A and B are shown apart, each in its own frame.
Chain A
Amino acid sequence: MRKIFNKELLKIAAERKNIYMILADIGYGEIEPFANTFPDRFINCGVAEQEMTGVACGVAMEGNTAITYSIANFPTLRCLEQIRNDVCYHDADVKIVIIGGGVAYGELGMSHHSTEDIAIMRALPNMVVLVPSDGAETKAATRAMLDYKGPVYFRCGYKNEPDLHDGKDVADFRIGGSSQIRDGRDATVFFAGTIGVDAKKAVEDLEREQGISCRLVSLYSIKPIDREAIVRAARETGAIVVVEEHNLSGGVGSAVAEVLMDEGLSGVKFRRLGLPDVYVTKIGCQRWLCEEYGIGPTGIKAAIKGVLGK
């Protein structure tokens, strides 16, 4: 996904001469084409994320679009006050792009996991939060992000994550939208990000093994969120499971629950699946850790069956 992001960014930056890339010494092997093609719009601030975010804000205050780009929680938590006071309060056109959300950098350990980012970023006024799940959504989200004027948080995967859209583009991608991967009648499984591959496997297994039919929806826009898709899922399928590679507190599940409560849909069968308010201390790759912490295919299947009472 990061390769797709960088390729799409390069293309758009050639069209728009006011897109800057502001780095904190991260991006080896990916950012060189931008740096070499647009050297006057590129700066490596050194390992200094607070300064990187302030510089990006200053660049944006002068009528430009500035992208900060780093891994996991480096460009968010280290410099959260700069994001809040500088970027969001001034509604500056800064795009905060992380590579490797959730436990994508599993084996590197807790310092490189980003498992509270969605909750924190969506709590900031003026911030848009995008969490694409595969290459097609990444490509579409990159353009949508750059078409939008204002702060955006973009949680990108870092590997060749499996395609969930059968090789097709997401033509109707929009900030505030969602993408239905497949339809179903018994329940809706919402997810955000690269954990979609586990959700898809769980849903396909359940249909094949037990005839349970699930709608599967990628909530690639967490803020604003696709309220209409959530309400429709509640009314049409009567049961909702939300899967996220993120702490349970304040993340995607919370965002969906807020919509359901706001809309008076408290009677819907509902379950959130995420990290149970813990730091990930076990060591392993992303998919292994998800399974181990109960948010992989086994845990998702159990949650769907649980919510349906099966």
Chain B
Amino acid sequence: MNETEAEECRALAKKIRLHALKMVFNGKSGHIGSMLSTADIYPVLYKRFLRVDPRNPKWAERDRFLLSKGHGGAALLACLAECGFFPLDWLDRYYCDDGKLSGHISHHIPGVEFSTGSLGHGLPVACGMAMAAKRDGARHRIIVMSSDGDLNEGSTWEAIMLAGQHHYDNLTMLVDYNRLQALGDSEDIINLEPLGPKLEMFGWKAIEADGHDPQAIEAALKRLPLEADKPSCIIFRTVKGKGVSFMENDYKWHYGGLVEELYLKAKEEVEAM
């Protein structure tokens, strides 16, 4: 990825952040910190990596992308709209009466592979998709976005064990690893460290990358599969609330809502990114 291409990704990430802020403000919803945390990953995924077709969202050979941290769905929805999966004006009625977009992502929306919202659901389903793809000899990739909280769930670890056991090298878990969750620092609640070595002991290959640098994100994605006969994990080091100074690394923005003054301040900061 050259600098011009990186700048294009950063420009889309900025749009995603601005959409997410507006959606959360208009809808009086929460989870903005989790959305901003992932905003730099989606442009690289959807513009440069995933084989998907906005005009044919159910294309059989598409890569499957499952957002297991469904609470951060507004950032993904903003990216999908910007990529043309559905009209941009759908974003205006996010979290609103008679709108099309709910606070947690739904498969009823074009481009959304799977509905989530309760954590711990993405990876087991992805394992089933990986198993079926192997049997069918299909070449598409199955990518799951997980998170600190998602990795608290027992069902996620059940699936981690299964994927390693069965060598699902068509399966990748991306971790939005911002080190915060709803009620505080992950290391004070359920310390996942050392996450990469843990996964490798379960039969995975894991690497870390900066989740806010488009070039680093793409370089990591280009290495997939990381090792033959193993599922891959890219642990993206991220900052919860990235781009808004008063939100960054503050767990209260897991749930926190935006009053107008703070919305305008946050918007101004993102515009200046």
Please tell me if the beta carbons of B158 and A85 are within 8 angstroms of each other in the complex: no
CB distance from B71 to the nearest CB of A (A): 13
Residue of A nearest to B156 (CB): A51
Please tell me if the beta carbons of A66 and B128 are within 8 angstroms of each other in the complex: yes
Cα-based distance from A131 to B22 in the complex (angstroms): 50
In the complex, identify which listed stretch (A2-10, A38-46, A137-145) lies at the interface while the others stay far away. A38-46
Q: Do A58 and B121 contact each other (CB < 8 Å), given the known contacts A46-B161, A51-B155?
A: no
Docked complex: A4-55 residues within 8 A CB-CB of B:
20, 22, 40-41, 43, 45-46, 48, 50-55
Note all chain B residues with C-beta closer than 8 A to A43.
131, 166
CB distance from B119 to the nearest CB of A (A): 10
Given pairs A48-B158, A51-B127, 20 additional interface contacts (CB within 8 A):
A20-B131, A20-B132, A22-B128, A40-B135, A45-B162, A51-B155, A52-B124, A53-B124, A57-B128, A58-B125, A61-B128, A61-B129, A81-B118, A81-B121, A82-B124, A82-B155, A85-B115, A85-B117, A85-B118, A90-B114
Q: Which 6 A-B pairs have the closest CB atoms?
A: A58-B128, A54-B124, A51-B158, A62-B132, A55-B128, A48-B158
User: Is A179 an interface residue when CB atoms closer than 8 A count as contact?
Assistant: no
**A interface with B by C-beta (< 8 Å):** 20, 22, 40-41, 43, 45-46, 48, 50-64, 66, 81-82, 85-86, 89-90
Note all chain A residues with C-beta closer than 8 A to B158.
45-46, 48, 50-51
Please tell me if the beta carbons of B107 and A90 are within 8 angstroms of each other in the complex: yes
Binary contact readout B176-205 vs A (1 if CB under 8 angstroms, 0 otherwise): 000000000000000000000000000000
Binary contact readout B132-152 vs A (1 if CB under 8 angstroms, 0 otherwise): 110110000000000000000
Please tell me if the beta carbons of A54 and B115 are within 8 angstroms of each other in the complex: no
User: Is B126 an interface residue when CB atoms closer than 8 A count as contact?
Assistant: yes
Note all chain A residues with C-beta closer than 8 A to B136.
62
CB distance from A92 to the nearest CB of B (A): 9
Cα-based distance from A46 to B165 in the complex (angstroms): 10
Cα-based distance from A100 to B225 in the complex (angstroms): 43
User: Is B73 an interface residue when CB atoms closer than 8 A count as contact?
Assistant: no
Cα-based distance from A43 to B132 in the complex (angstroms): 11
Please tell me if the beta carbons of B129 and A58 are within 8 angstroms of each other in the complex: yes
Cα-based distance from A40 to B121 in the complex (angstroms): 24
Docked complex: B35-85 residues within 8 A CB-CB of A:
none
CB distance from A128 to the nearest CB of B (A): 21
Cα-based distance from A85 to B120 in the complex (angstroms): 11
User: Is B16 an interface residue when CB atoms closer than 8 A count as contact?
Assistant: no
Please tell me if the beta carbons of B126 and A41 are within 8 angstroms of each other in the complex: no
Cα-based distance from A284 to B120 in the complex (angstroms): 38
- B114, B117, B161 interface centre (most CB from chain A within 10 Å): B114
- B120, B130, B132 interface centre (most CB from chain A within 10 Å): B132
The residue from A60, A64, A66, A86 contacting B121, defined by CB atoms under 8 A apart: A86
Cα-based distance from A85 to B121 in the complex (angstroms): 8
Note all chain A residues with C-beta closer than 8 A to B99.
none
User: Is B91 an interface residue when CB atoms closer than 8 A count as contact?
Assistant: no
Please tell me if the beta carbons of A46 and B162 are within 8 angstroms of each other in the complex: yes
Cα-based distance from A50 to B136 in the complex (angstroms): 24
Q: Do A48 and B162 contact each other (CB < 8 Å), given the known contacts A61-B114, A62-B132?
A: yes
- B154, B155, B166 interface centre (most CB from chain A within 10 Å): B155
Note all chain B residues with C-beta closer than 8 A to A40.
135
Cα-based distance from A55 to B126 in the complex (angstroms): 7
Please tell me if the beta carbons of B129 and A51 are within 8 angstroms of each other in the complex: no
Please tell me if the beta carbons of A54 and B155 are within 8 angstroms of each other in the complex: yes
User: Is B221 an interface residue when CB atoms closer than 8 A count as contact?
Assistant: no
The residue from B107, B114, B125, B133 contacting A55, defined by CB atoms under 8 A apart: B125
User: Is B24 an interface residue when CB atoms closer than 8 A count as contact?
Assistant: no
Note all chain B residues with C-beta closer than 8 A to A82.
121, 124, 155
User: Is B101 an interface residue when CB atoms closer than 8 A count as contact?
Assistant: no
User: Is B13 an interface residue when CB atoms closer than 8 A count as contact?
Assistant: no
User: Is B32 an interface residue when CB atoms closer than 8 A count as contact?
Assistant: no
User: Is B21 an interface residue when CB atoms closer than 8 A count as contact?
Assistant: no
Cα-based distance from A20 to B128 in the complex (angstroms): 10
Cα-based distance from A22 to B159 in the complex (angstroms): 13
Please tell me if the beta carbons of A62 and B129 are within 8 angstroms of each other in the complex: yes
Please tell me if the beta carbons of A50 and B128 are within 8 angstroms of each other in the complex: no
Residue of A nearest to B115 (CB): A89
Note all chain A residues with C-beta closer than 8 A to B120.
50
Cα-based distance from A41 to B120 in the complex (angstroms): 24
Note all chain A residues with C-beta closer than 8 A to B118.
81, 85
Note all chain B residues with C-beta closer than 8 A to A58.
124-132
Cα-based distance from A140 to B1 in the complex (angstroms): 59
Note all chain B residues with C-beta closer than 8 A to A22.
128
Note all chain B residues with C-beta closer than 8 A to A50.
120, 124, 154-155, 158
Cα-based distance from A253 to B129 in the complex (angstroms): 39
Cα-based distance from A205 to B12 in the complex (angstroms): 77
Residue of B nearest to A84 (CB): B118
Note all chain A residues with C-beta closer than 8 A to B130.
58
Note all chain A residues with C-beta closer than 8 A to B162.
45-46, 48, 51, 55
Cα-based distance from A81 to B177 in the complex (angstroms): 25
Please tell me if the beta carbons of B128 and A59 are within 8 angstroms of each other in the complex: yes
Cα-based distance from A61 to B123 in the complex (angstroms): 14
Cα-based distance from A176 to B132 in the complex (angstroms): 31
Please tell me if the beta carbons of A54 and B128 are within 8 angstroms of each other in the complex: yes
Q: Do A62 and B133 contact each other (CB < 8 Å), given the known contacts A45-B162, A48-B162, A55-B162?
A: yes
